Structure formats: structure tokens, C-alpha cells
Amino acid sequence: MTGEEMHALVERLYPLCRSITGDGVRATLDIVGEHLELAVHEVPTGTEVLDWTVPKEWNIRDAYIKDASGARVVDFRRSNLHVVGYSVPVDAVMTLEELRPHLHTLPEQPELVPYRTSYYARTWGFCLSQRTLDGMGEGPYEVVIDSTLADGHLTYAEHVVPGLSEEEVLISCHVCHPSLANDNLAGIAVATALARRLTGRLGRPRLTYRFLFAPGTIGAITWLARNRERAGRVRHGLTLACAGDPGRLTYKRSRRDDAEIDRAVTHVLADRPHDVLPFSPYGYDERQFCSPGFNLPVGSLTRTPYAGYPEYHTSGDNPDFVTPAALSDTLETLWQVTRVLEGNRSYLNLSPYGEPQLGRRGLYGSLGGRSDTKQAQMAMLWVLNLSDGEHSLLDIAQRAHMPFAALEDAARALSAAGLVKEIA
């Protein structure tokens, strides 16, 4: 998928009203399912999942605030951000004074509509721009939220790219936000594109890749509760969000701090503008996967981090805020990370006493005419020197400050010449 194709997917998903449960999540997964083969799971309301319980399912058909002339001052049909997520049904006539405790605005950003939710408290509300609120008279207003909270299901989906090994790479993105293009949908689009590329370009990869499309927090907790044994197969993982804004890439380390995924991502990011953040138990679903009982090696990749841009959780986070170029850059970064994870191996030097003569084995000669001859020669020397059974190619890349691909090529050439052998 190109950047333009990923952006088109963001635009198509944008109008859907998503929450942690409901038909909006299913509609989202139906569209992703046009690109990937998905296993969709429905977990009933009331199911105990670790310390949580799957909540009632929320669906909404319409909502509005009408003035005395019948005009919709606030209209869910114009933007699904106008209703506080999980609002209980309402049908009333109210003055502005009575309505005010249920209205949410951003006075410091008067043109924007905020995103608000109330998943676990039975309440209701509307979100609107401060400009709209300032123009409202005293009423009365017809106030309607046509929603349901009923026993149903929590829905999540998985796509698996099977590998030669049962060891897994987990890529997780959340599908619970309504019309938020960067925070939510860009991650879905990039994850979809990465899954397609892994299937189309590699044949069968060395590692198994599991893509998880689930509502935030409760979805990850539900997956962990239902996959305690399988979770032990996760050797590397990333949560993916805020993947399409023009800002620089940001990586948040796993709880382990120096897991292979931490080192792989920071190595790939080293030659481009980026930020690296320490682990914190606040953020996206990496905090669930990194909870101490599981302690999975899962970091978080974003561009500008959550709450780090003015459009965050507002109507300003629309498809115009997301760019095809940024989506492509995030995808290419992830692709390079998978190349490191796939290629990272350890070797043993079979001629460790002194530097072996590379020329008579044709290794220097094979580099003639290459634009990167000097780098390729240095890569061979580094691989020979550190292939002592204690260093992987990623270790060598970090110590030598060299591209991983150059060291991987060197290891292949040295192995073919009988100078090194791969070890477990």
C-alpha cells in the first residue's frame, strides 16, 4: 500500500462512530477485512478478563440539540465527536442553564470540538465548539441521544502472518476512537499496510507476526486474559498510534528497557530525526503488555506522542492533518525494524586466531566496483571480530555504528566462504 492508499483508508474509516464496543468497531474491522484475512472475536458482556469485566455494548443511531426553530445546533450526523462516548439515552427539553453541565468545549481552541468519553459511568453529554456555545441563547432546547447500552459483545480481530518459528512479533493498534484520523486511524492503516507487505515480499518469514486490532485498554486486557499461554511466545512487540502526523518519529521503550525490540527500533531510528522516551506505565496499550505479570517486550511507536500536538483528541485531528508522506515514513521505519528482527542472528568465527586472509577467498574481490566498498569491507571485519558466540548482528551494528543490512550481507558472504557459522 502506498502512502496515498493508506490515506484513502483513513478517509474511508473516518466517518464511522467507534467506541470500545459496538457496531462501529465491527464496521471498521469489516473494512480492514477487505485488505487482510481477519479472525474476529466476540467476547460477551460480563466476561471476567483479569481484573476487569467486559462492559455492556454501546450503539448510537442519532443525537442532537435543537433550538426552538427546529434547527440542530449540535448534530451527531455532522460529526460523531459531538456526543460523549457511551452516553446513556436522553429525550428531554432543557434550558441552556440545565444543559450546561453536560456540555464540553475547548475555550482555548474555540473553533474545535473535543473528544470525550464516559465508558464506566452512566452519564451523558455533548461536545461542541466554544464558538457554537457562545452563540446559544437560553433555550429551551430539545435534547436527544438515541443510544442503547445493552448486553452484547466486545469485538477485536487478529491477522497472523505465519513464520518458520512460533516465536511472535506482536503489532497492536486500537480501534476504539471515533473520528480521530491520526490518533486512531493512521495506526490501523499502517498496520494493515505492514501486514500486506510482510505477506507479499518475504514468502514465509522467520518469525510469526500477529496483528491485533482491538479497543484500547479493555481490548488488550481481554486479549491477554484469553491468551495467557500464547503471550509467552511474544518475543518482540510494538503498539502503533499517532502514525500519520508530520512530526518526527518517537519511540517509547518497553518496561525491560533493553529488549531486542528496544535496540532494533533505536538502531533503525538512529539515522533520522527522532526521539526516544523511557518506559512509563501511562500511554497506549504497551502498559498492559508490559504489566509486571506479563512483562512482554513491547514498546510504542508514534510520530508526535499522545497529547503532544494541539489537534490531539479534537476535531482538528481529521484526514487533512494526516499526510501520505508521514504514513509512508512510518511504514518504512517499521519495515526496517522487521528486517532487523528477521535478520538478527549470532555467528561464530571459525578462524579466530588472527585476521583471516579475505583476498584469497575472493571476498575483497567480490566488492570491486561497489559504491559502498569501504563500508562492506569494514562490515566483514566487524563481523569476524565480534562473532564470538556472545554478540548478535544487532549488537555489532550498534557497536560499529553501521547499517544492519551491511553487516547482514557481510555475515552471509563470510558464511558462504566458511569463515563463520550461525549458532543458536
- HEC readout, 107-150: CCCCCCCECCECCCCCCCCEECCHHHHHCCCCCCEEEEEEEEEE
pTM confidence score = 0.95
Confidence of residue 366 (pLDDT cuts 50, 70, 90): low
Average pLDDT, rounded, for the chain = 95
DSSP lists the bridge partners of residue 423 as 346
**Cα 225–chain centre separation:** 20
Q: Which helix (H) or strand (E) holds 218?
A: helix 218-226
- Compute the average pLDDT of residues 327-356: 96
Confidence of residue 202 (pLDDT cuts 50, 70, 90): low
- Compute the average pLDDT of residues 174-182: 97
Residue 374: the pLDDT is: 85
The three grid cell numbers given for residue 216, joined into one nine-digit string: 484500547
DSSP state of 231: H
Give residue 103's identity as a one-letter amino acid code: L
Domains of the chain: 3-55+153-343 (3.40.630.10), 59-150 (3.50.30.90), 346-423 (1.10.10.10)
Phi and psi for 366 in degrees, rounded to 5? -70, -15
DSSP state of 81: G
- Compute the average pLDDT of residues 81-94: 97
Closest CA to 241 of 338, 335, 173: 173
| The pLDDT of residue 368 is above 60 | no
| The pLDDT of residue 143 is above 90 | yes
Report the share of the chain in percent with pLDDT over 70.
97
Residue 305: the pLDDT is: 93
Q: Which residue has the higher pLDDT, 176 or 370?
A: 176
Residue 370: the pLDDT is: 56
| The pLDDT of residue 90 is above 90 | yes
Residue 349 Cα distances to 337, 340, 359, 413, 424, angstroms? 26, 21, 17, 13, 14
Residue 386 Cα distances to 76, 287, 390, 400, 421, angstroms? 62, 35, 8, 10, 13
The three grid cell numbers given for residue 423, joined into one nine-digit string: 549458532
